Amino acid sequence: MAASSSTAADVLPQQKYDLFLSFRGEARLKFISHLYAALKRKQILTYMDDKSLESGDEIGPALSTAIEQSKLSIIIFSKHYASSRWCLDELVHILKCKEAYGQLVVPVFYDIDPSDVRQQKRTYADAFAVLEERFKDKKGTRCASGEMLSQQQPIVDVIIWFDKYF
């Protein structure tokens, strides 16, 4: 009997959503609500987390599963996206799904210059200074931002990754 080979299809999670929206709450009323309504009109099944998130919470299993079960993730980078531990955890999980399953990932820069994100300027510089201070003495944290800081890999490396693909 021949040995069976594992294919990408064997390890892909079941696709439940067409897309997953990752965003910071500040963009919800002005942009996200309109985008979500337009996607819904086009019958694009979109996962958008409507729960109020507590500061410091880790992304939950349901949210992780929704990311994994989406064909496409859209990351809405806004002025305060990087100041949210939750958003950064989502970002890292999305990128893991990109690498593991070939999930499509599209960045959108809302009300912010992409160079502010790539070069960690203005609100992104402020957010990472706060995160670095908060996690400098914590080893083994499960927080995406802490994980990156402990590995000496700033978020700008993740953003530059987009330049390769877009």
- 19, β-bridge pairs: 46, 72
- How far is residue 19 from each of residues 70, 136, 149, 159, measured CA to CA in Å? 5, 34, 29, 20
How confident is residue 44, by pLDDT bands cut at 50, 70 and 90?
Answer: very high
> Per residue in 77-134, pLDDT tens?
999 998 888 888 888 899 889 889 999 998 899 999 888 887 778 888 888 788 777 7
pLDDT (0 to 100) of residue 146: 43
Residue 162 CA to residue 145 CA, distance in Å, equals 18
Higher pLDDT, 115 or 59: 115
> Per residue in 123-164, pLDDT tens?
888 887 887 777 665 544 444 444 443 333 435 555 555 555
Residue 115 CA to residue 1 CA, distance in Å, equals 56
Within 10 A of 36 (CB to CB), how many other CB atoms are there? 17
Order of strands across the sheet with 70-77?
46-47, 17-22, 70-77, 104-109
Higher pLDDT, 2 or 112: 112
Contact 18, 71 (CB under 8 A): yes
pLDDT (0 to 100) of residue 145: 42
Q: What is the mean pLDDT of residues 23-30?
A: 87
Q: Tell me whether residue 90 is one of the annotated catalytic residues.
A: yes
Catalytic, out of 58, 90, 99, 132: 90
